[in-house]
Structure formats: structure tokens, C-alpha cells
Amino acid sequence: MKIFLDTANIDEIREAAKTGILDGVTTNPSLIAKEGRAFEDVINEICSLVDGPISAEVVSTEAEGMVAEARHLAGIHENIVVKVPLTRDGIEAVSVVSQEGIQTNVTLCFSPLQAVLAAKAGATMISPFAGRLDDIGHDGMEICAEIVEIYENYGYATEVLAASIRSPKHVLDAALMGCDIATIPTRVFNSMFKHPLTDRGLAAFLADWENAGDAVTGAVPAGAAD
């Protein structure tokens, strides 16, 4: 499963990229707005830090405007994946630009049937929002599992990108059910490295090494003859 970071914060992306395991980044208008910088400046800098799919979202609501924006965004960098909302106009736009070789991430998906429409339109990725479904009493990860099963049934090439991730458990569930990608907030990404038994075990190893002293390291006591 590929791991994307869901943020537009350059410092967060730079730190995550240092791990060598970051496969891509997803942004949206809300995340970009938080940075207080020009949209294209942020996107270009992200592309310079991560050599993988970088999602940048259209803001038009009509198909014609989405198509024009998609063509512009795709021209910014070869790694740009254009995010398009899962509306009727959005699906129409994806059907057009996918024929032109533009990569798309169909976002704000909340049902398996919506995901079928996106796949048939030629979407590169589909983003079911698990956390937001959980917020209204649905099982968001179950929707992801159903989409994975449907796509496997029919051989759709569209990748399932588990989005609106709220916890490490969401990431685990996405991996177990075979999602192609999980896009993860920085807080959750950082928490995946941590386990109390890892910390406890490392502390014990270091304490044992410290206590063993010269007997283990082979150091020669100060003043000893050669």
C-alpha cells in the first residue's frame, strides 16, 4: 500500500520525505489556504520535495471549468494528479480529461456506486472519505472494502485511495482490505512509528550497554600500557 501525506505544509512534507517511504501528497483548497501562499508556489515546492503523485484540486463546479483547470494544473508538473469532486459535472470532466492522459483523483466519494461511476469515467484514483462517514454513524472503512471488491470484480484500473484517515487503525484497516493508497494526516503518520514496547525495549538495550561499560566496548582504561 502506498503512503501519501495529506497536507500542504512544506515543513511537514520535508520531514516526512526524509524517511524515504513517502509515495505522494494530497492537498485540497482548505489545506492550501492554511499556508497563506500562492497556490502554484506551494504546489511547485511540494513537487520539488516528493517524486510521486501530487494531488491538486480544481475549484470550478461546472464541467467546462473543471476541464480547463485540469489542463492547466496538469501542465504545472508531470506528477500532478488533478482532484475533481464526485459530482455529475465532475464525472463528465474526468471522462474528458482522462482521454487526454491527465491523471485524476476523484474526491468526496461516499458510496461504492459513486466509485463505480468514477472508474467508468477513467479516474486514476478514487478517494472514499472514511472518517467523514464514521462521523455520521456509518462504517467508512466498510465502504472502502466494498469499493476494493467491486474494482477487483471487474478489473477496474482505478486505484482506491483511503482518505479522511483519522487514526492508525484506519491505516491498518486500509492495508488489510487491499486499498492501493492511504493518504494520512501528519499526526497519524508520525504516530505509526511509535509503540511503547519499542521505546521500552530500546531503553533496556541502551541501559544494558551502558552498564556493561569497558567489558563490552573493549576500551582501554586511562593510563594503561599499550
Judge whether 107 lies within some domain.
Answer: yes
The CATH code of the domain that includes 95 is: 3.20.20.70
pTM, two decimals, is: 0.90
Catalytic residues: 83
Residues 6+ apart with CB under 8 A from 97: 67, 70, 71, 74, 82, 104
Judge whether 201 lies within some domain.
Answer: no
Give the residue-averaged pLDDT of 190-218.
Answer: 86
At 61-94, the pLDDT tens digits run 999 999 999 999 999 999 999 999 999 999 999 9
Residues 6+ apart with CB under 8 A from 26: 4, 5, 6, 54, 55, 83, 105, 127, 161, 163, 183
Structural domain boundaries, residue 159: 2-194
Judge whether 221 lies within some domain.
Answer: no
Judge whether 212 lies within some domain.
Answer: no
At 200-211, the pLDDT tens digits run 999 999 998 888
At 124-152, the pLDDT tens digits run 999 999 999 999 999 999 999 999 999 99
Judge whether 29 lies within some domain.
Answer: yes
Judge whether 226 lies within some domain.
Answer: no
Domain count, the chain: 1
User: In this structure, are residues 122 and 98 in contact, taking their beta carbons and an 8 Å threshold?
Assistant: yes
Name the CA dihedral angle for 146, 173, 103, 74, rounded to a multiple of 10 degrees.
Answer: 140
Distance CA 163, CA 174 (A): 10
Judge whether 14 lies within some domain.
Answer: yes
Judge whether 89 lies within some domain.
Answer: yes
